Chains A and B, each alone.
Chain A
């Protein structure tokens, strides 16, 4: 018998005993359904985590200048203003231009930290309000509070002479919310005050007003202006040439590109920070949990194997005479063995397909239920919690087929070993 003939004969045999084949495959259905549901849930949660982190800035990298010896020079952190460490690799305008040109890089935002001892005041119409300065692309801040939203104007800070203030800062100056739209474009003064009492005013145009929690009085100032402020403070005119920017935030097209760029920047001698570490830990935990759950679900498939083996042994007992006739007509033992193994494989395949469909459907229904539940708790979530990828679909169906075929090995061997004469006499 040719292989296609064996396959079509096996399929016909499975089709002739529809109910029995279906019942035998039920175990596989349950096992596959469980595996599909668990793995698709794990994949969905992984995608959710990635999406949430992406929104927070997983697609962003923070680069800092390389420092000799490492320790000591790294102080300052995300809020820091470190020019004290000896910089061996500075971030200048040339680096920024080069990175901006890299494929997959959307935006390069240089940051300049101000020394902590500088006191800042926001001034307009003769009123002064002490404010603190924040960085535009502050990952940690965004991670905790979410992306800042504009109340008026834009939160894209111009390179030079721009200012973004929180509503808290403006309210402290006695400005009402209703006035905010009209304030955009107006000039405010940011006054620097040294501990010795010297002051210097920097006139800046208000580019946008951000929503702030509570009465937090904060301003964001364009990097070029901050350089100017720092130059005044340290009384150095070539600060940008000698020290460069304090940090640079690089926004990439996606998480994967950010991941690819990390070793590139590290190789150049810059210090790189990203939120990816957190995601990696989450991934590792998720992988361990998924593996464990999949193993538990596999127990169902092993039970299913026993079911298929039992069905096949019964089928062989019932069809003993048929096996004898086939042997008398010239079927070899190998052909009989292959025929029964492929039949068992088909039972596994059918179970796998139904299990996949069932798992996918259950995922869709559960997804709706979860979204509905979260919605009722006022939590808005985009995307799915159950993701059935093509690889998962094909993989589980193939796995179920292999399980079925393996279950058929022993019964098929038994069928092949039957003495044709004994089989022909079987009633």
Chain B
């Protein structure tokens, strides 16, 4: 299909997918979720993954996030080939490089907002005394400092998603993976969350992949990858280097 485009040959891409496939066995039949996708994502890029339901967007996101392994082809993120690496390295990949943002927020219901943000810090074994100040600073950055002690069911949808964003940013990941982050929000809250994400993205120089049905959301991205039947169709050329100059 598409040949990966690399606008700066001296700078290796953050994500490299080569003939990437993923098949699931359902009973006796096999469902092909990804049929051989080729793509690259550069550091600092904001890429929207669009396509109809079942086109393989979420599967691709899970492969990049290390939640799943490919059936064929190669997926490399930050120099690590996720298909061949050990289970422990995949755990480390999720913990340190990736920030997940889910459509349904996935906050732990029994924990307060600040405790939810502390979870990745706990997993990364940050000393206890540093966890609370860092989590509060992250909540401050998403404008929820005063809601820190509230549990998720005391927060509105938009607030929940902002807590989830703070949690995704906790370990300074290089890559944010967002699956329909505004899907469960009304348009006003959706726009606010998207504004927040874009602002943080530019400020921190992070890379973000966002799966969306919403064309308005896709329009905010630097580039759009359109998926159909497990393939990536012709995308717009990357709008590099509109991303932040201070790539980390």
Q: Residues of A with Cβ closer than 8 Å to B? A: 1-2, 5, 9, 16, 321-322, 324-333, 335, 420-421, 424
The answer to whether A325 and B108 touch (CB under 8 A), given A1-B122, A330-B120, is yes
List of 8 A-B pairs having minimum Cβ-Cβ separation, nearest first: A330-B95, A330-B94, A332-B91, A330-B123, A325-B106, A329-B120, A328-B100, A16-B110
Neighbour of B67 across the interface among A333, A335, A420, CB < 8 A: A420
Point out the residues of chain A lying under 8 angstroms from B62, CB to CB.
421
**Could you pull out 21 A-B pairs where Cβ atoms are within 8 angstroms?**
A1-B122, A1-B125, A5-B128, A324-B106, A325-B108, A326-B123, A328-B94, A328-B100, A329-B94, A329-B100, A329-B120, A329-B123, A329-B167, A331-B91, A332-B87, A333-B87, A421-B62, A421-B67, A421-B68, A424-B67, A424-B102
- B239 in the interface (beta carbon within 8 A): no
Q: B102 to chain A: which residues have CB within 8 Å? A: 424
Tell me whether B119 and A5 are in contact (CB under 8 A): no
A5 adjacent to B106 (CB under 8 Å): no
Report how far A9 CA is from B110 CA in the complex, Å: 12
Confirm or deny: B92 has a beta carbon within 8 angstroms of a beta carbon on chain A: yes
B124 at the interface (CB under 8 A from A): yes
Specify which chain B residues have a CB less than 8 angstroms from the CB of A5 in the assembled complex: 122, 125, 128
Shortest beta-carbon distance from A338 to chain B in Å: 13
A9 to B67 Cα, complex, angstroms: 24
* B54-90 Cβ-contact flags toward A at 8 Å (1 or 0): 0000000010010110000000000000000001100
Contacts of B68 in A (CB 8 A): 421
Per the CB 8 Å criterion, the residue count for chain B at the interface is: 25
Contact of B92 among A16, A325, A330 (CB under 8 A): A330
**In whole Å, how far is B15's beta carbon from the nearest beta carbon of chain A?**
18
Kindly report which residue of chain B lies nearest to residue A335, judged by CB atoms. Answer: B123
B95 surroundings in chain A (CB, below 8 A): 329-330
Residue of B whose beta carbon sits closest to that of A5? B122
A326 lies within 8 A of B106 (CB): no
Name the B residues within 8 Å of A332 (CB-CB).
Answer: 87-88, 91
**Complex CA distance for A207 and B218, rounded to whole angstroms:** 116
Which residue of chain B lies nearest to A332 when distances are taken between CB atoms in the complex?
B91
State the CA gap A331–B93 with chains docked (Å). 11
Residue of A nearest to B167 (CB): A329
Is the C-beta of B189 less than 8 angstroms from some C-beta in chain A? no
Is the contact region of chain B dominated by helix, strand, or loop, or is it mixed?
helix
Q: Which residues of B contact A327 (CB under 8 A)?
A: 67, 94
Least Cβ–Cβ distance between B25 and chain A, in angstroms: 13
* Contact among B110, B124, B128 for A330, CB-based, below 8 A: B124
Contacts of B87 in A (CB 8 A): 332-333
Q: B19 at the A/B interface (Cβ < 8 Å)?
A: no
**In whole angstroms, how far apart are the Cα atoms of A331 and B90 in the complex?**
10
Is residue B96 within 8 Å, beta carbon to beta carbon, of the partner chain? yes
Q: Please report the C-alpha to C-alpha distance between residue A335 and residue B95 in the assembled complex, in whole angstroms.
A: 13
Q: For B123, what are the chain A residues with a Cβ–Cβ distance below 8 Å?
A: 1, 326, 329-331, 335
Q: Which residue of B lies closest to A324 (CB)?
A: B106
**Nearest A residue (CB) for B105:** A325
What's the minimum C-beta distance from B175 to chain A, rounded to whole angstroms? 13
The answer for the CA separation of A333 and B67 in the assembled complex, in Å, is 12
- Do A322 and B108 touch across chains, with their CB atoms under 8 A apart? yes
Given contacts A1-B125, A16-B110, contact A326 B67 (CB under 8 A): no
Name the residue of chain A whose CB is nearest to the CB of B93: A330
Which B residues are CB-close (under 8 A) to A420? 67
User: Given known contacts A329-B123, A421-B68, is B106 in contact with A321 (CB within 8 Å)?
Assistant: yes
User: Which of A321, A326, A329, A332 is the most central at the interface, judged by chain B CB atoms within 10 Å of its CB?
Assistant: A329
The smallest beta-carbon distance between B94 and chain A, in angstroms, is: 4
Contacts of A329 in B (CB 8 A): 94-95, 100, 119-120, 123, 167
Question: CA of A16 to CA of B119 in the docked complex: distance in angstroms?
Answer: 16
Q: Inside 8 A of A322's CB, which chain B residues have their CB? A: 108
A420-B67, A424-B102 known; 5 other A-B pairs, CB under 8 Å? A327-B94, A328-B67, A329-B95, A330-B123, A332-B88
Q: Given that A332-B88, A333-B87, A424-B106 are known contacts, is A326 also in contact with B119, CB under 8 Å in the complex?
A: yes
Report B-chain residues with C-beta under 8 Å of the C-beta of A424.
Answer: 67, 102, 106
